[in-house]
Structure 1
Amino acid sequence: MYQEKLIQEIQRKIDATRSVIEAIASALDISYDAAHRRISMKSKFSIEETVQLANHFSLSLDKMFQNSDHVLVKRTTEIQSFDDLSNYLENSFRSLTEFKPNLETFLYYSAKDIPIFYTINTGLLSRFKRYVWLNLLSPDELEVSFESFLSKTPMDNRGQKLNDYYSSIRVKEIWNDTTINSTLQQIMYFSQAGLLTADNGKILCDQIKELVFSLEKKCIPNNDQYQLYYHELLILNNNVLVGNKDRKSLFVPHTMLGYFITNDKDTCQHASNFYQHQLKNSRLLNTAGTRDKKMFFNKVYQKIELYKARVIAANEI
């Protein structure tokens, strides 16, 4: 059934005067007889051949093969090494830049953690996040201090392209009271384990504070490019929806950095509707009154200072 459907879609794509057997033989670089066996259902297309044909004839496998409760997704590669992480950032950039880096592209971010786009450049906080990710994702524990990691690991600026892309599109982030917690807890953990010095721990806390302060400065009424929403009840999950007026892509996390990606129209529209509903139930800090805005950010700053004090105390014991 599926093979017949694929062949029918190819027939619709090619010129009426052209043989579908010839078209498939050319696309797969196989003989006329081999193509004929596939057309007559004597042989089946392999998965690789199916994908190759879909790419060659610009066909959407999602649209062809899905039913109402099945959606085709692709997943990001697993990360087990520094090179894997660098390739992950490069591939993520390619996935996102299917949408042009301009203000016609929008992105919704359900920020369970500090959005990854802020922690993938070459600063100390970004290098610390790489250290944490590799500790958690590598099958072999690093068993080195953060300072040793800094001296042995090359500077990688591939994440900067993602950061630049994020800065060039329209972004709506949803935060809650726990968005910064995991990063602060990571600083505390490695500090208590003796794998992070007090000086670097303090610097990392200060850099988080500087990051949040920069976001506060962007939260102004006339800034349509960056909008920060505060939701008191929603359990965030790091979902990302990116799109433009023509199409959308949904990124759904399945591990710490691993994502399933789908372009399925209905799924993306449902996600968009969900985001719109949650935004209505959130407080837009860009237009919030001074009191509400200051209450949110002061609470964040106080939490950062609390963890900073704990880091200092942990190293004095």
Structure 2
Amino acid sequence: MGIEKDKLFNVIKQKLPKNVLFTEEIADVLDVSYDASYRRIKGRTSLTFKEAVKLARHYKISLNELYELPSDNSLLINKNKFQDNIDGLIHFYKELSYYTKTFHSTDRTQVVYSAKDIPFYHVKTTNLYWKFRIYVHLNFSQNNSVNNKVSFYNFNPKFAAIEEANNFRETFKLTDIVDIWSDTTIDSSLYQIFYFFRTKTLRKEEALLLCDEINSIIKEIEYNVTNENSDNLPSKKKFRYTLYYSKLLNLNHTIFFKNEVKKGVLMPYGSFSHIKIEDSNICDEMDVYLQKQLQLAKKISVDTEIDRKVFFTTMYEKIDQLRNEINSKILISFL
């Protein structure tokens, strides 16, 4: 299986972050010595079919694709299911950071995010809004981990969650990011603030502060797309941030990764779980689909001043409306 062995190892290399030593990685997975791993990689010792299957399972590689077998109606996916609690959140951040790093083997990586809500990488963990998003996720999880037993004021995520969230944010912003928003992208966050305020698990001053923080996040995004730069991002390189506005695309938090050598799709389900797809045909189809959607969307960066002003003014007006509704306790009208 010489050709297939080489192809298998090449696919595995593409999946690993730059800082991982390939020979040691293969040795760990196959549970063999460093020397035995080296001989298999160099072809001095044959890689058995059983070992190839073990590697393929570990790295979620389709043997049909490896052996070029026809398989039009089947698809290999990787389901990452995490617990609906704070520990699940920690593992979610770790997995997403690790997967993003696997695309950093080349100079440029692009991420296209279908933003049903404000993407987490725009939110600093020092913000009250980050804590609120976690609180909301846990309240609405299947396990009802918080379940209104703890007020937002008394809710304190583990330090490990904050640490992993910071690592995720640093890693994610080492890419060229393309966000696709609609004019309802911030609506769920605004309604959640109002809901928890009305149910008295969120105090008035907290609700108003959350409005201020969302307003600041939107202002920072507006600054970035106006100047189309990322000077504030934690990186030695200059990465691009581009924002598109679309009324046509069904936004669902899908994340599409691509660089010069590979592509991948993460499709969320549940609070912190997602399905990973790396099938080349599916990813190519997704790439073509997203490029078509971007052509139909409005790029509200740099030159499109009127569209940009209208878009962001709408966001600010919604936030102001929520502030007024918190003070008057009138039902939100824009939903």
Q: What TM-score comes out, normalization by structure 1 length?
A: 0.79
Q: How does 1:40-189 map to 2 (within 5 A)?
A: 51-54=53-56, 60-61=62-63, 63-64=65-66, 67-100=71-104, 104-119=108-123, 121-142=125-146, 143-150=149-156, 153-154=158-159, 156-189=162-195
- CA distance change for structure 1 residues 226 and 59 in 2, over 3 Å: closer, same or farther? closer
Q: In structure 2, the residue corresponding to 1:246 is in which secondary structure?
A: coil
Q: Counterpart amino acid of 1:197?
A: R
Instruction: Specify every segment of 5 or more residues in structure 1 that has no aligned partner in the other structure, as ranges.
Output: 1-5, 15-25, 30-43
Deviation string 1:59-106 (CA, Å, 9 cap, x unpaired) is 653624771121111122223221121111111111111011886010
Structure 1 counterpart of 2:187, which letter?
N
* Per-residue deviation, residues 184-229 of structure 1 (Å, max 9, x unmatched): 1111111000000011111111111100100000113654701000
Task: Report what 2:216 is aligned to.
Answer: 210
| Distance in 2 separating the partners of 1:235 and 1:56 | 33
Give the CA deviation at 1:144. 1.1
Shift of 1:10: 5.3
Q: Which of the numbers 320, 330, 333 marks the counterpart of 1:305?
A: 320
Q: Highest Rg: 1 or 2?
A: 1
Deviation of 1:287 after TM superposition, in Å, equals: 3.5
Distance in 1 between the 2:139 and 2:306 partners? 40
Q: Secondary structure at the match of 2:179?
A: strand
- Counterpart AA for 2:241: Y
Question: How far does the alpha carbon of each residue in 1:292-312 deviate from its partner, in whole angstroms, 9 at most, with x for none?
Answer: 211100000000111122223
* Code of the aligned partner of 2:93: L
1:252 and 2:270 are equivalent in the alignment: no
Distance 1:58 1:190, change over 3 A: closer
Unaligned runs of 5+ residues in structure 2 are 10-28, 33-48, 230-238, 331-335
- Give how far 1:137 is off: 1.4
Query: Contact 2:82/2:91 (CA < 8 Å) preserved in 1?
Result: no
Query: What are the within-5 Å matches in structure 2 for residues 189-200 of structure 1?
Result: 189-200=195-206
Cα pair 2:257 2:264 within 8 Å, conserved: yes
CA distance in 1, matches of 2:316, 2:3: 60
Percent identity between the two aligned chains = 26
Partner of 1:33: none
Distance 1:312 1:141, change over 3 A: farther
1:260-300 deviation line (CA, Å, top 9, x unaligned): 00111111111110110011011111144322211100000
CA contact (8 A) 1:110 1:174 kept: yes
What is the SS of the residue equivalent to 1:274?
Answer: helix
C-alpha deviation, 1:172, in angstroms: 0.7
Call closer, same or farther: CA 1:284–1:141 in 2, change over 3 Å. Answer: same
Aligned length: 281
Rounded to whole Å, the distance in 2 between the matches of 1:101 and 1:220 is 30
Is the Cα–Cα contact under 8 Å of residues 112 and 257 in structure 2 kept in the other structure? yes
Note the alpha carbon deviations across 1:151-180, whole angstroms, 9 max, x for none. Answer: x75472211111112222101111001100
| Paired AA for residue 67 in structure 1 | S
**Residue aligning to 1:41:** none
